[in-house]
Amino acid sequence: MKQATPARYERGEGTAIVRRAVRSLVVVMVITVVMACLIVGHAAAARARTAVAPDVAKAANAWLDSLDPAQRALASKPFDDAKRTDWHFVPKPARKGVQLRDMTEPQQASALALLRSVLSQVGYDKSVAIMELDEILRILEGSRAKNIRDPKRYFFTIFGTPSDAGPWAISFEGHHLSLNFTVRDGRIVDSTPQFMGANPAVVKTQLPNLPVAGHRVLEAEESVAFELLNSLDEGQRAKAVISPEPPKEIRGAGEPQPSGEPAVGIVWGDLSASQQAVLRRLVDVYCESMPEEVMAERLQVIETAAGGWAAVKFAWAGSLTPGIGHSYRVEGPTFVIELCNVQPDAEGNPANHIHCMWRDRTGDFDLPARD
């Protein structure tokens, strides 16, 4: 059944409110940076394992404390609640948690401060930009819309009690975003599933007060992969390209654990040193949405896993040219990266709708991987 867009968003207020909340967050961030510069801690290597989670717990509790009782009942769930692993990036009619649209502006600022605490600046900026794309869809789809398009329809949920002891978790999700973090004893121990999407992948039409034509929120996720693909010689490409047709969707969408299929494609050792550097850069693109500590730990896990980087493979499916359906995977023993761009955008431009993800082959949500 077609769902109506809320009346207040017919005037495009959703993006404006998000922007006001972001401006409020800037003040919080400046104060936080100044205070951080005054802190004298232990050695950097030791801090890298512990410094993130206490700040996240503080931000989580500040947001929870800003909510009224009804909101808090929706926002706070037991750690072992089944909804913790119920994730998806499609525009669902109902989701767990409390959405930005149902928060006051101070609550929105507090929620966005929580989001910033678990992401790098790069990851935070991408997330806000993805939310803004929903306003483009709202305008372009108009009366044709089959789903609610709303830049404030993004939901926050806390599982467990935010603290430096025991387990708790954060879920932030809405259309084209699903970010999930598990904290144990003061450390972020899992940051997956990590999903980001973009429709349009390339903004084609300039709309007032929205991203300019040509803007690409997930530009690096696509362009770096094409750079690697275009560097392959005929023999390498024969190993990397696994199908002339792309899949219709990324694997395991909405499932608690990633696909257990064996990795396919061209192996790290069959790439030249310069090609390996490009592949490493592609991996970094996904990791750099996370705080430095989380990014560093992800890369260390790749290096210390069986085979290290030598066990990593790159696979391509579909068109070798942008603008026609294509997909790729980067996989190793501990992680899966996957991007799929096969759907048209709201204006009918082909292959202008990205879905991409990072998942943990040892187990998303800090749970055991599937057998």
pLDDT tens-digit series, residues 239-265: 999 999 999 999 999 999 999 999 999
Name the β-bridge partners of 160: 168
The 10s digit of each residue's pLDDT in 305-348 is: 999 999 999 999 999 999 999 999 999 999 999 999 999 999 99
Per the structure, the count of domains in the chain is 2
Q: How many CA atoms lie within 13 A of 177 on its CB side?
A: 27
Question: Would 196 be classed as within a structural domain?
Answer: no
Residues 146 and 245 in one domain: no
Contact 123, 285 (CB under 8 A): no
Residue 211, in any domain of the structure: no
Based on the domain organization, do 129 and 237 belong to the same domain? Answer: no
| Residues 183 and 262 reside in one and the same domain | no
Q: Are residues 50 and 163 in the same domain?
A: yes
Cβ atoms of 115 and 124 closer than 8 Å: yes
* Confidence label for 54 from pLDDT (cuts 50, 70 and 90): confident
Q: Are residues 136 and 238 in the same domain?
A: no
Torsion sign across C-alpha atoms 142, 218, 195, 108: negative
**Enclosing H/E stretch for 277:** helix 273-287
- The answer as to whether 310 is a domain residue is yes
Q: 154-160 and 167-174: which strand pairing?
A: antiparallel
**pLDDT(37) > 50:** no
Q: Tell me the Cα Rg of the chain.
A: 20
What's the helix, strand, coil split of the chain in %, to 5? 45, 20, 40
Instruction: Determine the Cα–Cα distance for residues 327 and 86; give it in Å rounded to an integer.
Output: 25
The residue out of 190, 211, 243 marking a domain boundary is 190
- Mode of pairing for the β-strands spanning 154-160 and 76-77: parallel
Average pLDDT in the chain: 89
232 and 128 assigned to the same domain:
no
In a domain? residue 106: yes
Residues 180 and 258 in one domain: no
Q: What confidence tier does 287 reach under pLDDT thresholds 50, 70, 90?
A: very high
pTM (two decimals): 0.87
Mean pLDDT (whole number) for 81-85? 98
Average pLDDT value for residue range 147-158: 97
Up-side HSE of residue 366: CA atoms within 13 Å toward CB?
18
With a CB cutoff of 8 Å and minimum separation 6, the contacts of 82 are none
Q: What one-character DSSP code corresponds to residue 352?
A: -
**Are 154 and 242 within one domain?**
no
CB 175 within 8 A of CB 100: no
One domain, residues 31 and 96:
yes
Q: Which pLDDT does position 16 carry in this prediction?
A: 53
Do 165 and 24 sit in the same domain of this protein? yes
Tell me the pLDDT tens digit for each residue of 177-211. 999 999 999 999 999 999 999 999 999 999 999 99
Q: Which residue has the higher pLDDT, 117 or 29?
A: 117
Please give the C-alpha separations between residue 238 and each of 110, 229, 230, 261, 331, in angstroms, as whole numbers.
Answer: 50, 11, 13, 20, 18
Tell me, what's the pLDDT at 19? 54
Mean pLDDT of 121-138: 98
Residues 183 and 237 placed together within one structural domain of the fold: no
> What percent of the chain has a predicted confidence (pLDDT) above 70?
86
pLDDT of amino acid 45: 32
The model's pLDDT over 7-33, given as tens digits with 9 standing for 90+, comes to 333 434 445 545 555 444 443 443 343
Q: Which residue range forms the structural domain that includes residue 344?
A: 219-366
Query: Is residue 354 situated within a structural domain?
Result: yes
pLDDT value at position 52? 65
In a shared domain, residues 160 and 275: no
pLDDT band at 370 (very low <50, low <70, confident <90, very high): confident
